[in-house]
Structure 1
């Protein structure tokens, strides 16, 4: 008997439909799975046999052949356990599909040996695919319910074990469940008011958050670079529905969701260690997986001790910083992952870290130049804001007064972003403006043009750096609620370029 069960897999983060064909005939009792499945899928045979047996069903010694179509696309993941098990049980007539559910619903879930259906990766991608293809609903593990419930317009059938699925197949009986509520208001343990002094650096972070600009902070050890960077999350606006779905999708596929974090509705803050490999930062592997830059999508990627990262890791950031996505090519084809993040880097000015304080630095001029060369021109060119941070003075350290709170800065950032949403829709921020956008929204008067001509000569600006100055100036104007870029906005933007 031939049975077809609908399921899904994914290439990168894009899902595709998989038909699980189960053919059961008389003959030598074997269980074969074909169709370019990975090792996890091949091992599902033993999980399925034990799960069906331990749920009280008897499997006859039959010849079972399972084909995952399309057969020319590689499939990964344990979520094929459930559709294969359903196909086997229907094919052996242990249960009958009276109402044609197999043609109207997709199935996703991993099986334990007891028949329990466990949390699976990539469920939200499967739900989105089922909705896009017009299927009535999808059967998923109950543990994935909160993740799947953010997608509206499709029936979600949570199941604890195989018996729940069998009951659903026989009479479309669905157990009652409540969709867990999403946390909407986030309370941070840290605040921008914790940082003493460093007003210029705080201003740079505010501009970065408002316009989605990349930022690098250079300063001596202990001056507050990491402390400032970690607080950028506290001034970013909440994610919209589209951003929540896109980011949750990435974390679902990469296995980053769990009971305590079933949905990513708080902007990610990723902070890889400087020993992290290129594949871990950018993404990759035999079967391409998202890297840190994709896990930071719609959030912040902070690379502390930036010059200590391997050179290939630093240079591999060139395209993602410009294109806001990363393309990984393997023999199986090309995969694209989103990489729409705010990049924040921090480093010391020299090997000892004290070159800004001449009396403390013991590095030679050659060592300082060699250290600085670890950051190539193309990387610096892709960074919008460059800020040098000095150590606090004695008066600033002893001063007990608190600085401006994150909530106040966040309100200004949100207002600036609202202006950009009105200007571009929710597709882009000032940091991502195209050349046409620059011509339309960053017009310079004669005085401003004169200032930029001088800056091109004195700072040796490239065309990319010139455009970035205009983008930053546009964000500064938005923070001031100005429709045009004034001289003061342009001067402040130039103050954040590397001399």
Structure 2
């Protein structure tokens, strides 16, 4: 008799239903798992046998074949431990179970040698799939409770060991956890008070540019002297970004669950991610891919910020691979054996020195680089990449007066209120969560109307700065965000002037 249990498989971030079936027959005692399982699944045989024995169940010396279907798609993850264990126990008739439970629930969980269930990845995907396919619920380890309870409309059954599984399969009764997205206060979206804008001295233009970035989702490049505050400012953007919506929390928790980045201390993503990979990171680590499709930093930064400190030190092929995600807000990865698509909707913050010694902007001849060396250093950033960055500013070290100024500055909370108000205006304008940086050509023609004087101003800027069509569009998008921050229905002359000023470094 063939016993079947439902579980989940995923490839990249796409989930699919997997049936785990077992055939137990007389013959030479063997235990084989077929169906394109990865190393973790093949190694699960010893964990499962020990877990069954140490939970007090007998493991008959028979020929056991476990099949994972569909057999033509590779299966990854330790969450197959539980469904494989359940089909073997039920196949051996260790107890009388209710067949309808096996038919109506998905099972996910990693098993230990003692038979206890341990935290595993992909739980949010499993809950979403169970709901979409009309299953009654999902059975998961107790440690994954908060992840599973994010999805409403299904039963979330949490178990600690195989004895709990037996109780549920025989009686059909178990404590069902109420689905809720209420998060403990310790997990709320509270930014670090040590990273407040009120602590920043000087650099008013950089702070203003960061406010525009946060309001409209624009990309930003800071070129400045070492020690002028580029990294310090970049970290503080998190204090002015609006909190995540419930849908965004689910989307991010799903991504981080698949990537195995969730922990018992942080089982749900409640804050916008801030990813800052080192310039020595590999292309796979930043972009994604690999032998099996893994998420890169640009996907882990989805709905948040990707900060590339000293961007010119990154490998050229990695920077060029950012073209698609910066434009399309997604990345398509094609390899010999697969093609996947990951979301990459992030704000790019980047910083670099103006030259090798870093002192090019400083007075009194501190720079030791030749004009040719300065030119070659900045040429590491190609034109197409610079074209996709909305705001660029030059920064120098603070003066003595600025360093000694202890007057009160505007707090992050005050700036954040303006950012949230600007985003609400965009939500009302587009009737969606689209930001100004996401506007298409049709959106620009519909929502951005310039009078003749503004057109003349823009025409002059295009000619003098040698702007491309993409740069022209991005100036209009930034101007629209600046107008939103001012609660202005139309783009005024000062809004367009400010937007153009952030492209002056292209001279």
TM-score calculated relative to the size of structure 2: 0.97
How many residues align? The count is 499
What is aligned with 2:128? 128
What is aligned with 1:332? 337
SS at match of 2:392: strand
What is aligned with 1:76? 76
Match status 1:323 vs 2:323: no
Contact 2:155 2:177 in 1 (8 A): no
What is aligned with 2:188? 184
SS at match of 1:231: helix
1:187 is displaced (CA, Å) by 4.1
Counterparts of residues 67-146 of structure 1 (less than 5 Å):
67-98=67-98, 100-146=100-146
Match status 1:396 vs 2:364: no
Distance 2:301 2:408 in 1: 30
2:420 is aligned, of 392, 406, 414, to 414
Counterparts of residues 308-387 of structure 1 (less than 5 Å):
308-358=313-363, 359-387=365-393
What is aligned with 2:431? 425
Deviation by residue 1:82-126 (Cα, 9 ceiling, x = unmatched): 000000000000123225100000000000000011100111001
Distance 2:136 2:355 in 1: 61
Deviation by residue 1:228-285 (Cα, 9 ceiling, x = unmatched): 0000000000000111111111100111000111000100000111111111000111
What is aligned with 1:63? 63
Distance 1:367 1:172 in 2: 74
Distance 2:176 2:9 in 1: 28
Deviation by residue 1:15-66 (Cα, 9 ceiling, x = unmatched): 1100001111111111111111101101111111000000001111111111
Q: CA RMSD in A?
A: 1.2
Distance 1:339 1:98 in 2: 44
What is aligned with 1:256? 261
Deviation by residue 1:451-497 (Cα, 9 ceiling, x = unmatched): 11101100101000000000000000000111111111111000001
Distance 1:147 1:100 in 2: 25
Contact 1:141 1:158 in 2 (8 A): yes
Bigger Cα displacement from structure 2, 89-98 vs 364-373:
89-98
Distance 1:345 1:120 in 2: 35
1:227 is aligned, of 218, 223, 232, to 232
Bigger Cα displacement from structure 2, 245-254 vs 330-339:
330-339
Match status 1:202 vs 2:207: yes
1:283 is aligned, of 288, 293, 298, to 288
Distance 1:455 1:218 in 2: 21
What is aligned with 1:45? 45
Deviation by residue 1:392-447 (Cα, 9 ceiling, x = unmatched): 11100111113210000000000000001111233310001000000001111101
Match status 1:452 vs 2:454: no
Distance 2:450 2:502 in 1: 19
Distance 1:441 1:471 in 2: 10
Distance 1:161 1:384 in 2: 53
2:298 is aligned, of 293, 299, 302, to 293
What is aligned with 1:305? 310
Contact 1:28 1:62 in 2 (8 A): yes
Match status 1:25 vs 2:31: no
Distance 1:64 1:264 in 2: 40
SS at match of 1:340: coil
Deviation by residue 1:128-156 (Cα, 9 ceiling, x = unmatched): 00000000000001111011111111100
1:334 is displaced (CA, Å) by 1.2
Question: Which structure 1 residue ranges, 5 or more long, are not aligned?
Answer: none
Contact 2:331 2:341 in 1 (8 A): yes
SS at match of 1:346: strand
1:221 is displaced (CA, Å) by 0.4
SS at match of 2:5: strand
Deviation by residue 1:173-220 (Cα, 9 ceiling, x = unmatched): 214768783333414131011110111000000000000000000000
What is aligned with 1:167? 167
SS at match of 2:75: coil
Distance 1:387 1:426 in 2: 31
Distance 1:193 1:310 in 2: 35
